[in-house]
Structure 1
């Protein structure tokens, strides 16, 4: 190793998976320092994203499972330290970090590759003052603020009147957690339409209440509400940089009688238009925020193997960009060939039945609380110094108290 140039060693390390890099940290101090260096961590992540390597798929059923993207063969239980046998769900993925939760108060960020876990401080849901209402459905979202290089969790809590059993929206509370600050902040500037967004039949199915992260913005869909005068689908965005809500333009489809979903492909926002469970069009916004940049990527029809076509979600491109992996009807994967315009089913071993899917890339991004770690380290050093001082006092006392006088 000492005879190899450092740039050669670095180039080799860039190509390795995270678990191998963690083992290699024990080779030498220079290797450990290199692998822990923020510039190396960032470059390793960028290379993985550019080459579509170190990708994995999280299957979300009663528990979490992981599948290697290159193999797509076996689902392996994901050992998550947040829970012990309890139901844990993942509501977002960004740069190798998973946002997971067991309840509204038990939320954490987790890096499956390094097994680092960061529990979020508990933030209570506070109903509006002077109103007789209670918390209803809770939305979650997770992504990165590119301006400050911070990771943020968004929680939108819907309120409803105590006697309202149909889930009509009453008001919302929106809070944002910052990983850098390790704290929650309440968002007070909320658009009026937000209180009408939740729909029971839509957001509870297929985990549609989880925000889709693309271009620094989390996205949700507000389906048509005929009784309220909203006749079209609306894509609602929350900018993690400005921490403000915005309306995102959707593609102009010839037939507007469709059910809309949103997804993401390699950082680009996707719109999935489902026409009566018979046909699905997937559109990609190539330049974020520009309506004219919407381009139809693919169109699929129901088949004997997929009938009806109730739900579909694009997950990732193949290494050579000639195919797209789709999650279909919450229980199967298919490869869609962009040239031949055909689908092929993918069978995963140790199937878990019904599931949702999330793509994550293996990374070394740290999420440990440095202040807490430094405080613990200082406390340990103080305790060690105190023990040494006590030991010295004891030794001095013994040497003086039991010294023999000849």
Structure 2
């Protein structure tokens, strides 16, 4: 059986194309959308055109009427892949959703033990290229009883519509919340102890094994690292507090020599009430400008002119996170169903 995967921009090739190739194919971002978790006055999802946010005078946000809308409960974006969005509700339930065709699927409950106190603390979503299957990984942690703390890791397969327990991360759990999907693998940053080495760990969705990804050869020290995605490629954010942010991008996955320091973004803190670090680079424009999340706002930095543009979005409040998905006709229904 095969999934019915058809992309709006290229019906024949989208099934086998990686997210990085999709970004390169659609350089004007006409089919890319920003999706964010809005915190106030209550949890909800909001969307905005990436093109208008990057290039237009002002972005227009619209509410996303996603499935399983909670009342006064939390919703988190687990990840986006091939036009599908995975969301977590209340730290317990998952849903796969294609906003473009308004198709969704509520996943089976992860585990009965969640009713006893376990919650999903970290997660990831991506495409198993070797088995043509979409998978969700959840790391469950919490107190199962008054004196016992438990952690378990489970993975969901859309093909089998079921969860199974797996034994991974024996040398320490990931440090970051969301797994970053690239080339059939999920990636997290992990630090073992205070001031110890920071590693990039990957989980192969097909072989279900963990590996370590070699990092860039950093020129400087004294920064705080974090992991991200930009243009469908893995990136490392090197934050020099209140000074600048280096963005290193792995241009060709699996080729350590392809790490490139794409841009250095300075901090402009004189009249800024946030004064916090940058996070989540969302895209690099055709002229080299970079769109980043800064607190609960979006900024575009132009390295050629060394200038910033703060992007305003109507109908947007304080948000927790932001991700990018590309419109597609990907179906959650298997052939023959």
Comparing 283-292 with 301-310, greater Cα deviation is found at: 301-310
Q: Could you say which residue in structure 1 is the equivalent of 2:280?
A: 313
User: TM-score, with normalisation over the residues of structure 1?
Assistant: 0.69
Cα distance in 1 for residues equivalent to 2:135 and 2:184: 10
Contact 2:45 / 2:63 at 8 angstroms: preserved in 1?
Answer: yes
Cα distance in 1 for residues equivalent to 2:124 and 2:79: 6
Q: Could you say which residue in structure 2 is the equivalent of 1:71?
A: 52
RMSD: 3.0
CA separation of 1:14 and 1:120: change in aligned 2, threshold 3 A: closer
Contact 1:215 / 1:267 at 8 angstroms: preserved in 2?
Answer: no
User: Is 1:39 aligned with 2:39?
Assistant: no
Q: Secondary structure at the match of 2:332?
A: coil
- 1:127-172 per-residue CA deviation (whole Å, 9 max, x = no partner) reads 9xxxxx963662110011122221110111235686679xxxx664
Q: Could you say which residue in structure 2 is the equivalent of 1:379?
A: none
Q: Could you say which residue in structure 1 is the equivalent of 2:85?
A: 98
Cα distance in 2 for residues equivalent to 1:60 and 1:244: 31
Contact 2:301 / 2:309 at 8 angstroms: preserved in 1?
Answer: yes
Q: Could you say which residue in structure 2 is the equivalent of 1:6?
A: none
What is the Cα deviation at residue 81 of structure 1? 2.1
- 1:300-356 per-residue CA deviation (whole Å, 9 max, x = no partner) reads 2221354523232210122x2532211112x11111224334322111112212331
Cα distance in 2 for residues equivalent to 1:272 and 1:336: 15
Q: Could you say which residue in structure 2 is the equivalent of 1:139?
A: 122
CA separation of 1:287 and 1:370: change in aligned 2, threshold 3 A: closer
What is the Cα deviation at residue 245 of structure 1? 1.3
Cα distance in 1 for residues equivalent to 2:306 and 2:205: 36
Cα distance in 1 for residues equivalent to 2:271 and 2:49: 24
Q: Secondary structure at the match of 1:365?
A: coil
CA separation of 1:15 and 1:293: change in aligned 2, threshold 3 A: closer
Cα distance in 1 for residues equivalent to 2:261 and 2:277: 20
Q: Could you say which residue in structure 2 is the equivalent of 1:110?
A: 97
What is the Cα deviation at residue 41 of structure 1? 6.5
| Correspondence 1:195-274 to 2 at 5 A | 195=173, 197=174, 208-226=176-194, 231-274=196-239
Contact 2:36 / 2:47 at 8 angstroms: preserved in 1?
Answer: yes
Q: Could you say which residue in structure 1 is the equivalent of 2:153?
A: 174
Kindly indicate whether structure 1 or structure 2 has the higher relative contact order, using CA contacts under 8 Å at least 6 residues apart. 2
Unaligned stretches of 5+ residues in structure 2: 1-6, 54-58
- 1:85-110 per-residue CA deviation (whole Å, 9 max, x = no partner) reads 45322110011100012134421100
Aligned residues: 314
Q: Secondary structure at the match of 2:12?
A: helix
Cα distance in 2 for residues equivalent to 1:363 and 1:161: 41
- 1:242-276 per-residue CA deviation (whole Å, 9 max, x = no partner) reads 11111112223244332221111222100001122
CA separation of 1:236 and 1:47: change in aligned 2, threshold 3 A: closer
CA separation of 1:259 and 1:164: change in aligned 2, threshold 3 A: farther
Q: Which has the higher strand share?
A: 2
User: TM-score, with normalisation over the residues of structure 2?
Assistant: 0.82
